[in-house]
Amino acid sequence: MNDAECPFPTFARWYDEALQCGLREPAAMALATADAAGQPSLRMVLLKSHGPDGFVFYTNLESRKAREIEANPWASLCIVWLDLHRQIRIEGTVGAVDERDSDEYFESRPRDAQIAAAASPQSRSVADRAALDRLVGREQAKHGDGPVPRPSHWGGLRVCPQRIEFWQGRRHRLHDRIVYEREGSGWRIERLAP
C-alpha cells in the first residue's frame, strides 16, 4: 500500500480495480447512522459518485436513514471487496447533494426505478404488497408515457469524510491498515497494528 498525502487517489485506484475485476456489486457499501439518542442502524446503499468533496448515495429523504441523519449528521460507510482482501471505512458528516445533481442522477435512472422512488413511502409501514403495488400503479397512471419528475422527497446525500481507513489483507493476519484523519486543511496519516 502506497501512502499518499490525501486518501482520494488511493480510493479512486482501489475502486477502479474493484470495478474492473468483475465483482458482483462493487458499489455496495454499508451505511451506519444513529438517531438523536445514539441508537445505531445499518443498511446497504450504493456509492454513486466519489471525490475530494465526499461519497454520494441517493435515497428517499423521508426514510429512516435520512431522518436519523437529520437528527445526527455523523455517519460511517464500510466498503468490502472480499475477493481483493480489501476494506475501506469512512467516517464523516452528511449533507445534501445540490438539487441539480439530484435531478441529473434521477433522470439517468430506469423509468421503473423513477416510478418506484416516487411511489414508495420508504421505511414506513404499508398494509401489504398489494397496497405497495397500488401506489406504484397510481404513480404510473399519473405520468403515463411522460417524464417522471424527481419527487421532492428524493435526493442525494454526501458523506464528507473526516476519517478514512484502508485495510489490505495480508498473510498471517499481518494486515495493512492506513488511516487518514482530517487535520486542518490536510490529512494526518498513520499506520495501525492489525
Just list the catalytic residues.
173
Q: Give Cβ neighbours of residue 16 (< 8 Å, ≥ 6 apart).
A: none
Q: Look up residue 115 and give its three cell numbers.
A: 416510478
Q: Which amino acid makes up residue 5?
A: E
* Residue at grid coordinates 437528527: 71
Q: Give Cβ neighbours of residue 14 (< 8 Å, ≥ 6 apart).
A: 81, 84, 86, 88, 166
Beta-strand relationship, 54-60 and 74-81: unpaired
How far is the C-alpha of 94 from the C-alpha of 54, rounded, in Å?
9
